[in-house]
Every structure is written in C-alpha cells, then in structure tokens.
Amino acid sequence: MVDLQTIVDEIAAEMAQATERGAVASYIPDLARIDPAHFGIAVIGHDGVSYAAGDADTAFSIQSVSKVFSLTMTLGAVGDALWRRVGREPSGSAFNSIVQLETEQGIPRNPFINAGAIVMCDILLGRYEPREAIAQFLRFVRALAGDDGIVIDHKVAGGEQETGFRNVALANYMRAFGNIQHAVDKVLGIYFHQCALAMNCRQLALAGRFLMNGGRNPATCRSVVSPQRARRILSLMMTCGHYDGSGEFAFRVGLPGKSGVGGGILAIVPGIASIAVWSPGLNERGNSQLGTLALERLVQRTGWSVF
Ligand code: DON
C-alpha cells in the first residue's frame, strides 16, 4: 500500500503542473494580490500523525472556512435556539446572494452562506462586546488548533470593511425583518475579522480534528461538542459547505467540506482524517479549483469518500 506522504507529495507535484488554476477572488483587495501558483495540503490522521506537501506552512486568509468554527461557537452559546434564526437547507444560490431572504422572512437558508454567518455574529453580539466576541473567536480557534500563533489579518478585515457592500446590504435587509438585532457595523465588524483569520494548511487541519473525532479534540481529549453536534456540523458541511457547488463537491469528493474565497478548504473524513488544502484560484462558484481537484485525487487514492 502506498503511504500517505507519497500520496500528498504526488498530488502537490501534479497541482504544480496544473494549467487551469481558476481566478483569485478580486473583490477583497488583499486577496486580489495573492499569487495563484500556490498550492498546499496537510492531512492529520486520527493517530495525530501529519502529512503535508507544497505550501502547507504558508498562511492564507481562511475566509468562509471560519464559518465552521463560528457555527461551533454559536451552537455552544445558544444551542438549538440558533435554528429559529437560521435554516439548515442548501441554498443553491451564490454565497452572497440576497434573493431568498425576501420570500423567506430574512431567515438565511443555512449558517454557511454569508447571511447565515452574519446572523451568527449578531447572536454572539448578544453575549459579548464586539472586541470580546472577536477575541473569544480567536481564542477558540487557537485552542482547537493548539497554536497560539494564529492571528487575524487586520488589513484583510479593513479592506473588506471598506468594500463589503453586499454584506452591508444583507445585514440591513435582515435587520428590516428583525433577524439582525444589533448595529450593522458592529455585527459586520465581527464577521469581517472572523473571515480574516490567517492560517496555514497544517493549522487548519489541526483545528478540524474535533470533527473527525466525534466532537472531541484528540490532542487534549477534551470534548468540544457532543458527538451528535459534530455529526450535525458535518452534515451541514456536506450539504451547504460549498454553496451552489455543494452537490458537485459531494459528487466529486464525497466528504464534508467547507470552502473559503481565500482558496482554502477544510475536509473531514470521519474517524480517519482532518484535511486542509489551499490554492487561491477559484472556480465559477467561488470554491478552490485545485483544492477541489486535489481532494478528489486524494479520495480516489485512499478510498476515503464517505459514500
Ligand atoms: O463575506 C465575504 O464575501 C467573504 N468574507 C467570505 C466569502 C467566502 O469565503 C465565500 N466562500 N467561498
């Protein structure tokens, strides 16, 4: 049997040759400048052994991958009350779409589209001051990864604060329905900082370990969420983690995964591995082009699809 390090090395070499790399996100000023040649992969096995290749140690903007951690934190804060304000269905629409909110009373379809993540920030604001909410979020992710070196890139957050007009529209629209209860600039301040978390593939895969391990961080043996909640978060990653590309991702990769416009994807093989890939070029749905291809090849060679 071929060992995992050989597999990730081969995949990184294949990705270095790829010519169709997608396009970097241009609507966030700092992301527009990232070199699309990057590719990184890190796999952490259930036994804690890690396998990495390419730019696995280069930090990138995790963007919407952060929504996995904010969902976990928000469920920890308010439990199932979250589902009164956010749905659990795939949207089939772009991550920043506003259209469904009109006919669905300002209730976002799921926690992973921008509108859903913004509602979660509003919920956290009911418990914490804005700075405290951001600090708690950072502390939470650092604890999950076991790495206090993880930081927020304030320049990325500032850039989005100046240009994130769609998110301002989403928040205001939901406020009109009563589903945003705090000042929009404060809610979005949390959201933009959460998205601007800078992590590398190794750190991201480490932060995802609790999801491969039934809700318990295997390094600390501490429970982060119950096994049932871990299963539910994974189910949402499978059905909604890639927005209107979620069906295609399930078809090609067959793992619960969450993407971000920084080009990162966190994918979980329950009971087996936590995987992070990064390549900044995106496909037409805003998901990493080579990140998806790399996961597809990893799953083909390991048989790790959940199906
Ligand atoms: O709000 C935004 O548009 C970005 N901060 C995050 C979007 C994102 O990562 C969507 N992912 N594919």
- For residue 94, what pLDDT is reported? 95
Calculate how far, in angstroms, residue 64's C-alpha sits from the geometric centre of ligand 1.
5
Clarify whether residues 185 and 220 are in a common domain.
no
**pLDDT value of residue 144:** 98
Domain contains 307: no
Mark which of 180, 197, 214 sits at the end of a domain. 197
Q: Report the C-alpha gap between 51 and 223 in whole angstroms.
A: 25
Question: Is residue 51 annotated as a catalytic residue, yes or no?
Answer: no
Residues 10 and 103 placed together within one structural domain of the fold: no
Q: Number of folded domains in the chain? A: 2
Of 197, 218, 237, the domain-final residue: 197
Q: Rounded to the nearest whole angstrom, what is the distance from the C-alpha of residue 261 to the centroid of ligand 1?
A: 5
**Based on the domain organization, do 50 and 81 belong to the same domain?**
no
Q: Report the sign of the C-alpha dihedral through residues 26, 116, 187, 78, in that order.
A: negative
Q: Is the same domain home to 132 and 72?
A: yes
Domain that holds residue 180: 64-197
Provide the pLDDT for residue 59: 98
pLDDT of amino acid 188: 98
Burial letters for 148-177: b for 16+ Cβ neighbours within 10 Å, e otherwise?
A: eebebbeebbebbbeebebbbebbebbbee
Say if pTM beats, i.e. exceeds, 0.95: yes
Gyration radius from the chain CA atoms = 18
Taking the CA of residue 96 as reference, the ligand 1 atom at the shortest distance is 3
| Residue-level pLDDT at 242 | 98
- CA 256 – CA 238 distance, rounded (Å): 4
CATH code, domain carrying 41: 3.40.710.10
User: Are both 36 and 126 inside the same structural domain?
Assistant: no
- Extract the tokens encoding 210: 């609790």
| Pocket test residue of 114, 184, 237, 284 for ligand 1, highest count of atoms within 8 A of CB | 114
Is residue 191 among the annotated active site residues?
yes
Q: Confirm whether 252 is domain-assigned.
A: yes
Asked if residue 36 belongs to a domain, the reply is yes
Of 172, 197, 222, which residue constitutes the final position of a domain? 197
Do 73 and 56 fall within a single domain?
no
| Same domain assignment for residues 205 and 188 | no
Question: pLDDT tens-digit profile of 20-38?
Answer: 999 999 999 999 999 999 9
Backbone angles phi, psi at 195, to 5 degrees: -70, -25
Let me know whether 160 and 218 are in one domain: no
**Is residue 38 included in any domain, yes or no?**
yes
Residue nearest to atom 2 of ligand 1 (CA): 114
Q: Which residues line ligand 1 (CB under 6 A)?
A: 63-64, 95-96, 114, 160, 167, 195, 259-261, 286-287
Q: How far is the centre of ligand 1, averaged over its atoms, from the C-alpha of 289 (Å)?
A: 15
Task: State the Cα–Cα distance between residues 90 and 246, nearest whole angstrom.
Answer: 8
- pLDDT, residue 2, reads 66
What separation in Å is there between the alpha carbon of 71 and the centre of ligand 1? Answer: 15
58 and 147 share a domain?
no
How far apart, in whole angstroms, are the C-alpha atoms of residue 203 and residue 180? 32
160 among the known binding-site residues? yes
- One DSSP character per residue, 202-215 reads HHHHHHTHHHHTTT
Q: Are 152 and 298 in a shared domain?
A: no
Residues 73 and 163 in one domain: yes
- Could you give the strand order of the β-sheet that contains 151-152, starting from the edge strand earlier in sequence? 60-61, 197-199, 151-152
Same domain, 146 and 105: yes
Q: Is the residue at 179 inside a domain?
A: yes
Regions of the chain short of the pLDDT cut 50: none
